[in-house]
Amino acid sequence: MTPARIVIVDDEQPARSRMREVLADCAAELPHAVAGEAANGIEGLELVAATQPDLALVDIHMPGMSGIEFARHLQVLEHPPAVIFVTAHDQYAVQAFEVAAVDYLLKPVRAARLLAALKKARAGARPVREVLERIDPSPRRYFSVAERGRVSLVAVADVVFLKAELKYVTVRTREREYLIEDSLSQIEKEFGDTFVRIHRNCLVARALIRGVERGSENDADAGWSVILEGCGERLPVSRRQWAALKELLKA
C-alpha cells in the first residue's frame, strides 16, 4: 500500500501543529505523508484540489464554512478523500456521529485513537449526504460544482434563481450560470428562508423579488411572471404557486 496522503483542516494553528505531532507518532505503524494544512473550509477545498489527498482530518467548528459543510462539498468530486471529523466539544455533533456510525476524534487527540481512525478510514466508506445533513441541518453557505476535478463554490447569497432542467439544476447568479446535482426540492427544504418556489421547476431569491407582471394585457389566459433584481429574464409563475406568492408580495 502506498503511504496515505493526509491534509489537516483546522482554524487554530496550535491544533494543526498538535495534529502533525500526533500523526508523526503514528508514522511507524501507518506510513503516511502530510500533504498540507488549511485554516478554513474554502482553503481546504483548494488544498484538496491541489494535492489530491486520500484523507482529510477536519475540525467541525471553523469560521466561514463548518467542517460538515466542507465534507458535503467534497462529495461532488469523483474521488473524494475520506474525512475524519475532529472536535473539542460538540455534544450535538457527537451524538449524531454515534447514531450514524461516522468516526470522529475528540481533541486532545491521542495517538492510539488517531491510528485506529486512520486504519478504519483507509478501508471505510465515505459518509453520505443524508448523514451529514442530519449532523448539521443548518443551511450551507455555498453550492458546489465539480469543475475539472476540483470543487467550485457559488455563494448562496449570490444566487438569483434556480431552475430544474432534465437531470440537473441550473444556478443563476448575476454573472453566470452553473449546473449542480442537488434536487430542487432538497434545495427548497434546506434554504426555505432564502428562496421561494414560483413554479414546479423554479426557485427565486426572496430578497430580489421586485414585483410581478402580466405576460400580455390582452391575453386573459397569460399568467404572471416575476421581476427579479439583477436579472433581465421574466420567470413564469405557475397557477399553483400564485396564491402563495401573492401573500408574500403583500407582506
Binding site residues, other proteins, CB under 8 A: 11-15, 17-18, 21, 40, 61, 63-64, 88-90, 106-109, 138, 141
Residue carrying C-alpha cell 414546479: 200
Is residue 171 within 8 A of residue 186, CB to CB? The reply is: no
In the complex, minimum distance from the CB of residue 158 to other proteins, in angstroms, rounded to a whole number: 15
Angle at 206 between CA 165 and CA 68, to 5 degrees: 75
In terms of CB distance, is 191 or 224 closer to other proteins?
191
In the complex, minimum distance from the CB of residue 107 to other proteins, in angstroms, rounded to a whole number: 4
* Nearest to 61, CA basis, from 35, 85, 34: 85
Enter the DSSP assignment of 182: S
In terms of CB distance, is 165 or 193 closer to other proteins?
193
In the complex, minimum distance from the CB of residue 142 to other proteins, in angstroms, rounded to a whole number: 13
Question: 213 phi and psi, to 5 degrees?
Answer: -145, 155
In terms of CB distance, is 63 or 232 closer to other proteins?
63
In terms of CB distance, is 43 or 54 closer to other proteins?
43
The rounded distance, in Å, linking the Cα atoms of 68 and 24 is 26
In terms of CB distance, is 21 or 233 closer to other proteins?
21
The rounded distance, in Å, linking the Cα atoms of 114 and 104 is 9
In the complex, minimum distance from the CB of residue 119 to other proteins, in angstroms, rounded to a whole number: 22
In terms of CB distance, is 87 or 241 closer to other proteins?
87
In the complex, minimum distance from the CB of residue 7 to other proteins, in angstroms, rounded to a whole number: 18
- Cis ω for the linkage preceding 14 (within 30 of 0): no
Q: State the first-to-last Cα distance of the chain, in angstroms, to the nearest integer.
A: 62
* Position 89, amino acid: H
In the complex, minimum distance from the CB of residue 48 to other proteins, in angstroms, rounded to a whole number: 19
Handedness of CA 21, 24, 29, 32 (dihedral sign): positive
Handedness of CA 209, 210, 211, 217 (dihedral sign): negative
In terms of CB distance, is 86 or 171 closer to other proteins?
86
* Nearest to 83, CA basis, from 141, 18, 129, 138: 129
| Cβ neighbours for 232, distance < 8 A, ≥ 6 positions apart | none
In the complex, minimum distance from the CB of residue 212 to other proteins, in angstroms, rounded to a whole number: 29
